[in-house]
Amino acid sequence: MRRYIGMLLCFVWMGMMVAACATPGTTQKPYTFSQQGTIIWQDEFEFKPPPSEWRVIQVEVGGEFGFGFLKVDSGPFPSQSMFVYDEEPFGCSSELGERGSEFFRRYLWSTAMIADMQILEKKKVNVLGGEGLAVVAEAKDPVKKEKVKSKVVFGKRGDRVVAFYLTQWRPIDGTYDPSAFEVFDQFVCSFKFLKKSFYETL
């Protein structure tokens, strides 16, 4: 579990490495663009790309390697935002409410926060063509003088729970950027599965 404490730094580092090292002819991208301008990720997912200031990253999420987007925001460290799609979010329950509780017991570590995370909002939503759960939470670390706000959306892929989450870090006296949450919502709403998952074919 200790490895999650340093996850934030890994996310940022990996994003910068991808941006710096991915040059034409040297790296095969895991995605293509459709004629409609959407992104096709490994022939499995389709979604609307975020604005160009969001850089694609591949990260370890929930024990699996997934993908997402990172944006370094203006302002002092740690001003940045990141959102990801996670096939295996923390926890094991197939019930959305219980999975949300399981998730947030461990998610605190991945945000590199030691303070308690407070749930600000929890509501049912429609996502991936079915019932979902959206949770907004915040944590503040007065020692490190940092805070983090997250929005997590849980949905179903077959019988399994999947998740999307946006995490935004700020100095404790900084202001959150609501436009990042709007970009995240557009990403979630546009997300489609192009084929069945491995578990759905068993």
- For residue 103, the tally of other CB atoms under 10 A from its CB is 21
Q: According to the model, what pLDDT value does residue 54 have? A: 97
CATH assignment at residue 147: 3.40.1000
On whether residue 14 sits in a domain, the answer given is: no
Helix H or strand E encompassing 189: helix 178-190
In order, the DSSP letters of 20-41 are HH--TTTS--SEEE-TTS-EEE
CA distance 76 to 54: 18
Predicted confidence (pLDDT) at residue 182 exceeds the cutoff of 50: yes
Length of the chain, please?
202
On whether residue 97 sits in a domain, the answer given is: yes
What range does the domain containing 88 cover?
32-127+135-195
Predicted confidence (pLDDT) at residue 194 exceeds the cutoff of 90: yes
| pTM of this structure | 0.82
Of 202 and 150, more confident: 150
Structure tokens at 98: 């219980």
On whether residue 16 sits in a domain, the answer given is: no
Band (143; pLDDT cuts 50, 70, 90):
confident
On whether residue 63 sits in a domain, the answer given is: yes
Predicted confidence (pLDDT) at residue 113 exceeds the cutoff of 90: no
- For residue 96, the tally of other CB atoms under 10 A from its CB is 17
* Residue 128 CB partners (closer than 8 Å, separation 6+): 155, 156, 157, 162, 191, 193
Number of structural domains the chain divides into: 1
On whether residue 147 sits in a domain, the answer given is: yes
CA dist 73 to 13, 17, 55, 167, Å?
15, 17, 12, 12
Among the ranges given (26-30, 68-72, 183-187), the one the predictor scored with the smallest mean pLDDT: 26-30
| CB contact at 8 A, 168 and 184 | no
Q: According to the model, what pLDDT value does residue 19 have? A: 38
CA distance 165 to 85: 7
On whether residue 176 sits in a domain, the answer given is: yes
On whether residue 145 sits in a domain, the answer given is: yes
Average pLDDT over residues 158-180: 95
Rounded to 5 degrees, φ, ψ at 149 are -125, 135
Rounded to 5 degrees, φ, ψ at 187 are -60, -50
On whether residue 91 sits in a domain, the answer given is: yes
Q: According to the model, what pLDDT value does residue 198 have? A: 75
- In the sheet that holds 45-47, the strands lie side by side as 31-33, 39-41, 45-47, 192-193
